[in-house]
């Protein structure tokens, strides 16, 4: 009975155990297209996602990721309202047509107007009387308000340029440019304000042509929820979140599966479920109609699950086992955790993943919410596992460790990672590495990387040979710095 278990025991591999074999190629790295799916309905130009962790992804990180064509998943170690606030900030960062337009009336006092502009961070508002557009008032009008002017009526511009609600974007841009105005209210047949186009949003759009955006031109953002948090999932959907990521250490759990079944009925945005590491778990989750699978039990840099619980599957094997099933159903696979180098991303996708999720690398960037610290003259940023004692105690997460009421068995550690600069620079290096790898394989796109790539298994001597050796490094290239610990 016991010896049987070892008779046909499988070997499982991870990133450091394998390399991709170079092939005859007609593909130059600059010609490579790395776009891929994060979930059934979300395609990313850069299939890299930042982890829902409290030292990695809040609104600043999510915006920076989406602007570069990638995606951020807001963590859930905060109240529902705080999380909704972060989602709202990302969705409001860029838009082409603002639908939920804030307005004032001619009778609004200048003090109230100032308050609205400050608290809502808006530079100009349409003025409506009844429901009709009668003017527009901007920060500049406020600056010149002067004495004796007490209400919006005294300072607003009455000859307001507006456009019909269904005006094509190009025409709207032309009106903005021709009239040198910042804001163009859109009105319906009855003169009611039903939308607003701003020059700032148009400029942003032109500045980030590769950004991940929804059909309204707003940046894409995902948010994590606990497996039983149906209320939070619905509230996030209402706020306009683009994907719900179910965040649990073990999604192949019957209570979790039952809850996902319920969530599927309540939520219509894409649901990505995880984490899992086996083909059976993939089958069970796909049967619940989820839109993506998050793979990785214990590979993360801050994870101690494998040490504490003795559980896990080395990541390359976990990805390929799950992808074998998922690919048949057209469900994207996200390789989550354990990625230290851009080469690992190439290996993850060659093994069957559609996108990758990274914590440690992004925790070190300027846009992460973690605190900065200096150690031995070098800048670091805090990074901790969501199953670390610190994260469990300060937050409301139930991902790991709550055994008993006030005692915890941590499944993660707390620490710091070297500062790595801005997210756009890091993403440039990561995608550059991907393109290079795909060039060696002869893969023009992610689909070809999956089908054309071949692996070799390497030994510990092969691994040693792979990293710089027999040299004292005096000048680290930027990408090498990103990967240093």
The question of whether 399 is a catalytic residue gets the answer yes
- CA 477/CA 390 separation, integer angstroms: 34
Nearer to ligand XMP, 58 or 336 (CB): 336
Number of residues that bind ligand XMP (CB under 6 A): 25
16 binds ligand XMP (CB under 6 A): no
Supply the minimum distance, in Å, between the C-beta of residue 64 and ligand XMP.
17
Q: Which of 387, 433, 437, 439 binds ligand XMP (CB under 6 A)?
A: 387
From the list 195, 359, 369, 437, which residue makes contact with ligand XMP (rule: CB under 6 A)? 359
The whole-angstrom separation of Cα 120 and Cα 329 is 44
User: Binding marks (x or -) toward ligand XMP, 42..81, rule CB under 6 A?
Assistant: ---------x-x----------------------------
- Residue from the set 55, 108, 248, 305 that interacts with ligand XMP by CB under 6 A: 305
**Cβ proximity to ligand XMP, 359 vs 439, nearer residue:** 359
Interface stretch with ligand XMP, choices 134-142, 214-222, 323-331, 351-359 (CB under 6 A)? 351-359
Instruction: Work out the angle at residue 72's Cα, subtended by the Cα atoms of residues 245 and 409, and round it to the nearest 5 degrees.
Output: 55
Q: Residues 13, 457: contact at Cβ < 8 Å? A: yes
Q: Which position among 303, 378, 384, 422 bears the catalytic label? A: 303
Q: Which two tokens stand for residue 285?
A: 């989750």
Q: How many CB atoms lie within 10 A of CB 51?
A: 28
Question: Which listed range, 2-10, 33-41, 128-136, 382-390, lies at the site for ligand XMP (CB under 6 A)?
Answer: 382-390
Range list of H helices, 167-296: 169-179, 199-207, 230-239, 254-266, 279-286
Shortest reach from residue 76's CB to ligand XMP, in Å: 12
Q: Which is nearer to ligand XMP, 61 or 98 (CB)?
A: 61
Residue closer to ligand XMP (CB basis): 45 or 306: 306
Name the residue with tokens 């003017």.
135
According to the binding rule CB under 6 A, does residue 303 interact with ligand XMP? Answer: yes
Q: Which residues contact 279 (CB under 8 A, 6 or more apart)?
A: 321, 322, 324, 325
What are the residues facing 293 on neighbouring strands?
273, 333
CB 299 → ligand XMP: shortest distance, Å?
Answer: 6
Backbone torsions φ then ψ of 126, nearest 5 degrees = -65, 145
State yes or no: residue 386 binds ligand XMP (CB under 6 A).
yes
Closest distance to ligand XMP from the beta carbon of 338 (Å) = 5
Other CB atoms within a 10 A radius of the CB of residue 253 amount to: 13
Site stretch for ligand XMP (CB under 6 A), options 34-42, 231-239, 298-306, 434-442: 298-306
Q: Where are the beta strands (DSSP E) in 348-467?
A: 355-358, 372-375, 378-384, 414-418, 455-457
- Which of 229/336 has CB closer to ligand XMP? 336
Query: Whose Cβ is closer to ligand XMP: residue 137's or residue 356's?
Result: 356
- Residue 317 gets the label, from left (phi > 0), alpha (psi -120 to 50) or beta, of alpha
Token duo for residue 425: 């620079």
Question: Does residue 10 have an active-site annotation?
Answer: no
Structure tokens that stand for 174 in this block: 């032309």
Distance CA 38, CA 71 (A): 9
Assign residue 156 a region: left if phi > 0, alpha if psi is -120 to 50, beta otherwise?
Answer: beta
Tell me which of 83, 198, 204, 360 binds ligand XMP, using CB under 6 A: 360
The pattern of x and - marking residues 326 through 345 that bind ligand XMP according to CB under 6 A reads ----------xxxx------
Contact residue for ligand XMP among 47, 185, 300, 343 (CB under 6 A) = 300
136's CB contacts (< 8 A; 6+ apart) are 124, 125, 126, 127, 156, 157, 160, 183, 185
DSSP string, 133-162: EEEEEEHHHHHT--TT--BHHHH-BSS---
Q: Which of 76, 213, 232, 399 is catalytic?
A: 399
Catalytic machinery residues = 303, 399
Q: Would you tell me which residues interact with ligand XMP (CB under 6 A)?
A: 51, 53, 275, 296, 298, 300-303, 305, 336-339, 357-360, 385-388, 400, 411-412
């Amino acid at each position: 009975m016991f010896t049987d278990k070892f008779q046909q025991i499988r070997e499982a591999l991870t990133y450091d155990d394998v390399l991709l074999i170079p092939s005859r190629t007609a593909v130059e790295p600059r010609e490579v297209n790395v776009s891929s799916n994060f979930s059934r309905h979300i395609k990313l130009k850069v299939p890299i996602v930042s982890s829902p962790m409290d030292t990695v992804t809040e609104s600043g990180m999510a915006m920076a990721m989406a602007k570069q064509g990638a995606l951020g998943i807001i963590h859930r170690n905060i109240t529902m309202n705080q999380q909704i606030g972060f989602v709202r900030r990302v969705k409001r960062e860029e838009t082409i047509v603002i639908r939920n337009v804030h307005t004032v009336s001619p009778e609004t006092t200048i003090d109230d107007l100032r308050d609205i502009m400050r608290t809502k961070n808006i530079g100009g508002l349409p003025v409506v009387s009844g429901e009709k557009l009668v003017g527009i008032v901007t920060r500049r009008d406020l600056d010149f308000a002067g004495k004796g002017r007490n209400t919006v009526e005294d300072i607003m511009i009455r000859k307001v340029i507006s456009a019909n609600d269904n005006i094509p974007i190009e025409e709207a841009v032309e009106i903005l440019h021709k009239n040198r105005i910042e804001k163009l209210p859109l009105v319906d047949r009855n003169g009611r304000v039903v939308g607003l186009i701003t020059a700032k949003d148009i400029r942003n759009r032109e500045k980030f042509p590769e950004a991940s955006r929804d059909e309204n031109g707003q940046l894409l953002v995902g948010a994590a929820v606990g497996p039983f948090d149906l209320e939070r999932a619905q509230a996030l959907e209402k706020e306009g979140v683009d994907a719900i990521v179910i965040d649990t250490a073990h999604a192949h759990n019957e209570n979790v599966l039952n809850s996902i079944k319920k969530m599927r009925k309540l939520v219509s945005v894409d649901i990505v479920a995880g984490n899992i590491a086996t083909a059976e778990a993939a089958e069970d989750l796909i049967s619940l109609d989820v839109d993506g699978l998050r793979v990785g039990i214990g590979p993360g840099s801050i994870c101690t699950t494998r040490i504490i619980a003795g559980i896990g599957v080395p990541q390359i094997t976990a990805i390929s086992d799950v992808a074998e099933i998922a690919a048949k159903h057209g469900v994207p696979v996200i390789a989550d955790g354990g990625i230290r180098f851009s080469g690992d991303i190439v290996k993850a996708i060659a093994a069957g993943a559609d996108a990758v999720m990274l914590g440690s690398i992004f925790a070190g960037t300027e846009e992460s919410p973690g605190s900065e610290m200096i150690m031995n003259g070098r800048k670091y940023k805090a990074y901790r596992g969501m199953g670390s004692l610190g994260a469990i105690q300060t937050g409301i997460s139930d991902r790991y460790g709550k055994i008993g009421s006030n005692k915890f068995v941590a499944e993660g550690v707390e620490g710091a990672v070297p500062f790595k600069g801005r997210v756009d620079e890091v993403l440039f290096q990561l995608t550059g590495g991907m393109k290079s790898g795909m060039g060696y394989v002869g893969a023009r796109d992610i689909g070809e990387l999956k089908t054309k790539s071949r692996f070799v298994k390497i030994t510990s001597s092969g691994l040693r040979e792979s990293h710089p050796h027999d040299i004292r490094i005096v000048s680290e290239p930027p990408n090498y710095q990103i990967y240093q610990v």
